[in-house]
Chain A
Amino acid sequence: MSLACSKISIDYGQRRALFDFDFALQPGRIHGLIGPNGSGKSTALQALAGLIKPASGSVELDGRQITTMSRREIARRLAFLPQQPSAPEEMTVEQLARQARFAHVGLLRGYGPHDEKLIAWALESTGVSDFAGRGLQELSGGERQRAWISAALAQEARILLLDEPTSYLDIGYQVEILDLIHRLSRDRGVSIVMAIHDINQAISVCDRISLLQGGRLVFDDEPRALAANNLVETVFRIRGRFVEITPGSPPHFDVELARWSDGARDH
């Protein structure tokens, strides 16, 4: 299972959103995409999923150009969860997960025991089986997000592209989903690319991190290397520092909140 691209650029109309983006996914690893709003994370993920055609460069999935593959061939290898997906009004959580089996069942084949098992597992492992029969529109933002993650899992792909999978989740479910992602990569050898905003979560769960700024890749290395420079401060225009909370654990970025320091000065 390999997913890579070299020097792809993406244009929306006249505007270029991604410049000469390089990427290579290591099998069974977790690759994080971080960067400010509008820096091109979603654009990069959509390009990697073969959903937008690069103006230059190409994406290769399992050694083949992704543009030469059918959507079904792609979907059997790679599942993509958009940042804000929308579903038909009356669709339930379980029906959503069933739709995700399309790449395997196709137009006509019925759902076999293997399909049912995977759907049940996907619902179970994202904690949505209790409300599997409820409509997506009736769920809270976090519940809905987990329902979509369960659909991505039900697709049974070796590569998962997740666009901010934890943005609506409470801290408990954030940890649970990140844990699930970690187990998928370690126990099942699934390769994962995810856009994520929480730098500390990215550092602790990812094997590799790409940092984007204004559509350009400014960092692509192991998380520890990120702590060794001040890119996070300059790119996000914040002040803070990396601290080691317990020896041996990944470094933790401690952000300095402007208002607090102002307040401290006042007193």
Chain B
Amino acid sequence: MNVGATRDLRADNALILPAWIGLTTIALALSVFMGVVDIPPVDVIAALVGKGSAQARSIIIDIRLPRVLVGMVVGVHFAVAGFILQSITRNPLADPSIMGISQGATLAVGVFLLFSVYIHNPGSNTLAELPLAWLPSIAIIGGLLAGLAIYAMAFGRNLGPIRLTICGVAVGALLHAVAIGLIAGWGSARIEILLEWLSGSLYARSWDHLRYLLPFTVVGLAMLPLIRRPLTMLRFDSSVSRSFGLSHKLHFSLALALACCLAASAVGVAGPIVFVGLIVPHLARFLAGRRFALVLPFTLALGIVVVTLGDLVGRLAGGAEEIPIGVVTAIFGAPLLLVLLRRMA
């Protein structure tokens, strides 16, 4: 046995945790310290410990901090969902927005908002405020329905990875078109709030958003140790993984359901932030190389880093009219996707 290699990996593993924490801390700190309103670092620290001017405190504590934290959590959701989908479909291009899960969530939220407007204030068709508490759960229903369609296609007709993805793309496009049609047909004067959400945005995300999303994060991440080994095994042919003792269908379904819940709940809070679920697992795999066990931790860390830094770029670059994170990830993600495609070819 190659004992030397094993020992090297152990030594590396000891360095991983500090590097992981360091990297995410830097990204989070940058996002809190920097912003459109220029607040000196000393004042930021003062605000964080509850001192300093009321204005600085309100900007840091009420606006920046919750926004950064929501971004961090949402980044983890999308990245892990993408990692799971890529593993179980054995397709490197799988991702919540490619497989139609984000679109399912979007449509569910759209329908829900439409109805809630009419129920809450009949007569008017404006939407003053999103009913936050409901959004993640409603989105999850939509995401799970899309997931069910994927499941039916995977087992009902025994589709291979590529055709499965194409079906996912078709389902997603259809759901997206319906959602857009619905919102356009609604013709409300105040759909900006909705449009912003649709492009994937962290604008004005508050402690409330975090509060309603966090339970899903906690439950989802608590499931990870349970699906870690099945995720590796689901990448074999089912005849191999079943011979190794895995209940293929059961674990495929569980993993798919988890991916749907994570991605959809994040969509409910921040809208569909595209490409994060696609790119982050690839970056993680690239950095981890042979060290299989590290791909998942890297995925978590990079999910945080990519979304928080992406949002920072969007905030700073746009000035007063900031660029939504979903647009930033699309702009950076598309070329990265092309690079990936070339590397795979």
Mutual binders A and B: yes
Q: A residues bordering B, Cβ < 8 Å?
A: 46, 49, 51, 70-72, 74-76, 79-82, 85-88, 90-92, 94-95, 99-100, 102-103, 105, 107-108, 120, 123-124, 129, 132-133, 135, 155
> Are the CB atoms of A86 and B244 closer together than 8 Å?
no
Given A123-B1, A133-B2, residue A76 in contact with residue B245 (CB < 8 A): yes
Taking CB as reference atom, which chain B residue is nearest A151?
B244
> Are the CB atoms of B5 and A99 closer together than 8 Å?
no
Given A71-B248, A123-B1, residue A51 in contact with residue B239 (CB < 8 A): yes
Task: Name which of A71, A94, A123 has the most chain B CB atoms within 10 A of its CB.
Answer: A71
A105, B235: Cα distance in complex, Å: 18
A80, B289: Cα distance in complex, Å: 29
> Are the CB atoms of A132 and B235 closer together than 8 Å?
no
> Are the CB atoms of B229 and A103 closer together than 8 Å?
no
Name B216-258 residues within 8 Å CB distance of A: 225-226, 228-230, 232-233, 235-237, 239-240, 242-248
A256, B117: Cα distance in complex, Å: 86
A241, B246: Cα distance in complex, Å: 46
A213, B240: Cα distance in complex, Å: 26
**B231: min CB distance to chain A, Å:** 10
When the two chains form the complex, which single residue of B1, B233, B290 contacts A90, counting CB atoms closer than 8 Å?
A: B290
Given A71-B245, A80-B243, A86-B237, residue A108 in contact with residue B292 (CB < 8 A): no
A87, B179: Cα distance in complex, Å: 39
Q: How many residues of B contact A (CB 8 A)?
A: 27
Q: Please, could you name 12 A-B residue pairs with CB atoms under 8 Å apart, sorted by A?
A: A71-B242, A72-B246, A82-B239, A82-B240, A82-B243, A85-B236, A86-B236, A102-B229, A102-B245, A103-B245, A132-B1, A133-B5
> Are the CB atoms of A108 and B246 closer together than 8 Å?
no
Residues on A with C-beta less than 8 A from B246 are: 71-72, 102
**A165: min CB distance to chain B, Å:** 14
> Are the CB atoms of A108 and B237 closer together than 8 Å?
no
Residues on A with C-beta less than 8 A from B240 are: 82, 85-87
A110, B229: Cα distance in complex, Å: 11
Residues on A with C-beta less than 8 A from B247 are: 70-72
Residues on B with C-beta less than 8 A from A87 are: 235-236, 240
Contact with A along B283-309 (1 / 0, CB 8 A): 001000110100000000000000000
When the two chains form the complex, which single residue of B1, B230, B236 contacts A107, counting CB atoms closer than 8 Å?
A: B230
**A121: min CB distance to chain B, Å:** 10
When the two chains form the complex, which single residue of B225, B235, B245, B290 contacts A108, counting CB atoms closer than 8 Å?
A: B225
Residues on B with C-beta less than 8 A from A51 are: 239, 242-243
**B291: min CB distance to chain A, Å:** 10
A120, B6: Cα distance in complex, Å: 13
Given A51-B239, A82-B237, A135-B290, residue A88 in contact with residue B232 (CB < 8 A): yes
A49, B292: Cα distance in complex, Å: 29
A53, B235: Cα distance in complex, Å: 23
Contact with A along B1-38 (1 / 0, CB 8 A): 11001000000000000000000000000000000000
Residues on A with C-beta less than 8 A from B232 are: 88, 99
Residues on A with C-beta less than 8 A from B245 are: 71-72, 74-76, 102-103
Residues on A with C-beta less than 8 A from B228 are: 107
Task: Name which of B242, B247, B285 has the most chain A CB atoms within 10 A of its CB.
Answer: B242
> Are the CB atoms of A90 and B248 closer together than 8 Å?
no
Residues on B with C-beta less than 8 A from A132 are: 1-2
Taking CB as reference atom, which chain A residue is nearest B250?
A71
**B230: min CB distance to chain A, Å:** 7
**B84: min CB distance to chain A, Å:** 14
Residues on B with C-beta less than 8 A from A85 are: 236-237, 239-240
Other 5 A-B pairs with CB < 8 A, given A51-B239, A124-B1 = A71-B248, A82-B240, A100-B244, A102-B233, A132-B2
Given A85-B237, A99-B233, residue A155 in contact with residue B244 (CB < 8 A): yes
> Are the CB atoms of B235 and A88 closer together than 8 Å?
yes
Residues on B with C-beta less than 8 A from A155 are: 244
Taking CB as reference atom, which chain A residue is nearest B251?
A107
Residues on B with C-beta less than 8 A from A107 are: 225-226, 228-230
> Are the CB atoms of B243 and A120 closer together than 8 Å?
no
Residues on A with C-beta less than 8 A from B90 are: 88
Nearest 9 A/B pairs, CB to CB? A75-B245, A103-B245, A88-B235, A72-B245, A80-B243, A133-B2, A133-B5, A102-B244, A71-B247
